[in-house]
Amino acid sequence: MNEKIILPELGDGIEGGDVVNILVSKGDEIEKDSVLLELETDKAVLEFPSPQSGRITEIHIQKGDTVTVGQLLVTLDVKGNTEPSEETANSQEEKNIVRQHEQRPEPSHDPETQSLLEDEKEPVGELLPAGPATRKLARELGMDLSKVQGTGKDGRITLDDVKSHVKHRLTSTPSLAGVPAVVLPDFSQWGPVERKPFSSLRRKVAENLTAAWSAVPLVTQFDEADVTELEKMRKKNVHDVQEKGGKLTITVFVMKALVTALKAFPQFNASLDVHRGEIIYKQYFNIGVAVDTPSGLIVPVIKNVDDKSLAELAIELTELSKKARDRKVPLEELRGGNLSVSNLGGIGGTGFTPLVNPPDVAVVGISRSRVVPVWREGQCEPRLVMPFSVSYDHRVIDGADGARFSRLVAHELETFQA
């Protein structure tokens, strides 16, 4: 008996990803939970296991393909039978995806989406090479199948063709992005050019930041902290922590200082529920830390920062940073953050404005510390000063509280007690 293996719902808003590695070949005998492929999503690189044991009779994807939820990945012979006819296979695939769509709520009739497809109604009486599930999806979307290019055998229109067509219409429409589309010139007239597609991660980052910039009325408070004594403490303990497998960086101290500030100003440890007109105040302290990776920015989350020691935080942050750079962070370790920290001090700069990533209402940016002359007790002393910034959602947080919050963070760093 042949079993069609499709990409299931991955959760956390993940709609699909790029195939970075296929770990099986046609004819392979595999066991249940054997890894079929590695999928790069906007969150991490996920290993996709086989739900059953059997023999691989067909692989329907290639390395580098972008796949979406519901897409056919491989065909598995679970009893060693020969592969059924294409008609049977298509019918089974359509039945599987019909069940998926029947379990989903009716699509929303968004005016902008409707305007894109309102003229795409299938012509009456025109016979098109498409199965029942494909036609059902097209009817739900109000789409004219005659405008869809079929990629199946003999031009057959598949469910993936319909999804790709809709995705192209939506992403190519500037009004949905909230900003006018920029008409690009032909850059090749001035010299050689190269086009590269967005990776899943880069694409999702772009979508999130565009949405954040459009939706959040952002204010940034700039401040600085005298970390001279803190740096002495860090250097004193750095080797002990290193022996335990951690790297004691200034970020670890900032996280602990932030917990104190979040307790004093709970509006920074909150989320805005616009639909219900409520502010959700969280009673836990999970802090995300932005990690620079070759693929782009990833923000793993350290849970319950208030309950962990400096050494524990340093070890966990070191481990999570490595996982992030390897794109091996479990989804659970990317969820549940209340506020994020972005430390660019190791690269340089005197200050920057980090963007709030909803549902968070605040984010902290750290810049490079520098030695500056400071007037103290009647004389000028060289002191190590760390500039930092706090960006926040002005709908939830007032400017005065933004200043008080940053001052408290600075005070905690300047008077830090291990």
- Is 394 a catalytic site residue? yes
Strand 370-376, strand 287-289: pairing: unpaired
- Say if CB 45 and CB 38 are below 8 A apart: yes
- Say if CB 254 and CB 414 are below 8 A apart: no
CA 68 to chain centre: 15
DSSP state of 145: G
One DSSP character per residue, 330-372 reads -GGGGS--SEEEEE-TTT--S---PPP-TT--EEEEE---EEE
Helices (H), 49-199: 86-103, 111-117, 132-141, 159-171, 174-177
Compute CA distances 409 → 219, 222, 254, 261, 269, whole Å. Answer: 17, 12, 8, 6, 14
| Closest among 143, 218, 215 to 177, alpha carbons compared | 215
CA distance 203 to 63: 18
Q: Which of 60, 101, 394, 411 is catalytic?
A: 394
Beta bridge partners of 171: none
Catalytic residue annotation? 394
